[in-house]
Amino acid sequence: MHTAIIIFFGLVLLALMLYIGEPIGFSRQTMAYGFAALWLALTVINGAVGVVHAGQSVGSELGIGSVVFGVPVAAMVLFMVLSAES
């Protein structure tokens, strides 16, 4: 359940960055790269907390972390591809 919640928050963060960033003056590409870097950092922190405090193994955190990172980034790539075509 924790994984689904973290992925949900990643998708919410993506939406906020892409839709609020443009009116502020940032391009979608800049916000997408910023999101990828920020989400990678947050995923690594989440994995470190899982290893240190929850007692998870590094191998399981790497597997789950790749999913946690990959789903919102895949959504970002899909959004960028679809918005470029329209």
Cβ count near 6 (within 10 Å):
19
pLDDT(86) > 80: no
Cβ count near 57 (within 10 Å):
10
What dihedral do alpha carbons 7, 12, 18, 20 form, nearest 10°? -160
Q: What is the C-alpha R_g of the chain? A: 14
pLDDT of 51: 95
Segment 16-30, tens digit of pLDDT: 998 898 899 998 889
Segment 36-73, tens digit of pLDDT: 999 999 999 999 999 999 999 999 999 999 999 999 99
Distances in whole angstroms, Cα of residue 55 to Cα of each of 28, 43, 46, 51: 38, 17, 13, 5
pLDDT of 84: 81
Domain boundaries, the chain: 2-85
pLDDT(8) > 70: yes
